[in-house]
Structure 1
Amino acid sequence: MPLEKRDVKLIISWYLQRTDTKISAFTDNIPGDDWVDNFIKRHDVLTNRVCQNIKRSRAEDVKKYFTNLKASPEGVPSGNIVNYDKTNLSDEPGSKKCIFRRGVKYTERVINFSKGYISLMFAGIAEDELLLPFVVYKAAHLYESWRQGGPKGTRYARSKSGWFDAACFEEWFLTVIVPWARRRVGPKVMIRDNLSSHLSETVINTCQEFNIRFVLLPPNSTDKWQPLDVSFFGPLKREEDNGES
């Protein structure tokens, strides 16, 4: 229940009334917007930002998630906790404004472009370590030239849509997560989205074999992509792989 400026004004007015204090600069002993702005500036732990509205049921989902998140990694060392997520790149030329006859229902243009979408999967360990990246192209065939120039050990795959389907996720899990899990002793925790295609029988059985627990993020919590800052990867350790990509 965050406060609005109006709430802060009323709290201050109530406090002044209780302490029988009169501030001549305040109209009707209620501070104005400038006073609230300066109050926020004086207390650097506060900030005034645009908030997102969520339903009460959504808030309960988030609360349950953090309750589960607190319990699941209990007793698990930070080197055994991995968080992963994917993002997408597109070489689609993008939308442009064009001139159409008024009343046209579908404002479309025909334009050719190559692969369309490329999906990238990144996984980070809680103790400052990145696992090997995984790239999925939109294509019917995976060409050798597409494997060139990436970080050493990068894995590559393809799908019809360029998105991670069940087969791509399973390949990523077996070639990136399993080698990491083999080197770790004790229970492991994976924090991930709740996409159902990521839970194949093979993945579930392998998780049981290597004592891997899944912590599922609340629905619709990973669909707002942020720009990728490549400088983030500078100081982190990357796992090297002696096998072929």
Structure 2
Amino acid sequence: EWVCVSTDTKTVYEENGGTGKDFTTVVVSGNAAGVVSPPYVIYAAKTVNPLWCENGPAETQYRCSKKGWINEELFTDWFESLFIPETVHISKPIILIMDNLSAHISIKTIELALKNQIILMCLPPNTTHCLQPLDLTTFGFVLTYFRIYF
């Protein structure tokens, strides 16, 4: 395969690369006041390539997992390193509404929630599309623009 790039190009990207089976997960949270947390991006990789982190939104955290999906360890990391610090200034108790994914519930996450006066509320199975607040109000717009521009 031949690729033409300028001599100062350090990395060449394929416009339509990948297998079509690679996933990237982005965890976000927001509150009733409209404040949205920085993204927590999970790539399908063994290690995070520093190039993937360039020019991202401020305070974004980047992680990876084998398939690019969230797991128990990554959810706990998001909860402890991003969600709790982002909510420290909010009067307690607060509630975190989330889908009913087994990766969201671990003993460590529950202990952290209790310690920080955060009530964890899981939506019933198979209802995220009609009950999850961000699915109903935000993600539809994001998906529409993503399809247009990417």
What TM-score, normalized by structure 1, do the two folds share?
Answer: 0.45
Per the alignment, residue 101 of structure 2 pairs with 195
Which residue type is aligned with residue 142 of structure 2?
A: D
Q: Does 1:176 align with 2:82?
A: yes
Structure (1 or 2) with the larger CA radius of gyration:
1
Q: Does 1:134 align with 2:47?
A: no
Per the alignment, in what secondary structure is the counterpart of residue 130 of structure 1? Answer: coil
Q: CA deviation at 1:222?
A: 2.2
Instruction: Quote the Cα distance in structure 1 between the aligned partners of 2:78 and 2:39.
Output: 9
Per the alignment, residue 146 of structure 1 pairs with 52
Q: CA deviation at 1:152?
A: 0.8
Deviations 1:16-43 (A, max 9, x none): xxxxxxxxxxxxxxxxxxxxxxxxxxxx
Instruction: Quote the Cα distance in structure 2 between the aligned partners of 1:150 and 1:231.
Output: 20
Q: CA deviation at 1:215?
A: 1.7
Which of 106, 109, 127 matches 1:221?
Answer: 127
With a CA cutoff of 8 Å and minimum separation of 6, indicate the structure with the bigger relative contact order: 1
Query: Closer, same or farther in 2 for the Cα pair 1:220/1:114, shift >3 Å?
Result: closer
Instruction: Quote the Cα distance in structure 2 between the aligned partners of 1:142 and 1:122.
Output: 19
Instruction: Quote the Cα distance in structure 2 between the aligned partners of 1:141 and 1:171.
Output: 16
State the aligned residue count.
124
Q: Does 1:163 align with 2:76?
A: no
Per the alignment, in what secondary structure is the counterpart of residue 63 of structure 2? Answer: strand
Which residue type is aligned with residue 125 of structure 1?
A: N
Structure 2 unmatched ranges of 5 or more: 1-15, 146-150
Q: Give yes or no for contact 2:96–2:121 (8 Å, CA) kept in 1.
A: yes
Q: Give yes or no for contact 2:93–2:119 (8 Å, CA) kept in 1.
A: yes
Q: Give yes or no for contact 1:115–1:138 (8 Å, CA) kept in 2.
A: no
Q: CA deviation at 1:205?
A: 0.6
Per the alignment, in what secondary structure is the counterpart of residue 179 of structure 1? Answer: helix
Structure 1 unmatched ranges of 5 or more: 1-92, 94-110, 233-245
Which residue type is aligned with residue 104 of structure 2?
A: H
